[in-house]
Amino acid sequence: MLEKEVKILNSLGIHARPASMIVKLASKFDSHIELEKDNVRVNAKSIMGVLMLASEEGDKIKIIANGKDEEEAVKALVELIEKRKFDEE
């Protein structure tokens, strides 16, 4: 199992479009992937789950991946969230 904490950097947080980007990216991997914020853990492949986190700019979320491609999955999600900022800025 691999875990990595990331900070939400885009100004609008995780609204519908970024949530769909997370789900689409997470679904490409075989690993079980979850996101956790404030002790609430959700399936990263569920748009309803990702939206339930109500993550805003500055919030920290934890990516938890477990499976054969966990390292690649966490790396790709970190890239999307922290480096690309969901391609919004």
| Active site (catalytic) residues | 15
Give every strand in the sheet of 2-7, ordered side by side: 2-7, 60-66, 32-37, 40-43
Q: What are the structure tokens assigned to 44, written together?
A: 């990263």
The values of phi and psi at residue 29, to 5°, are -105, 150
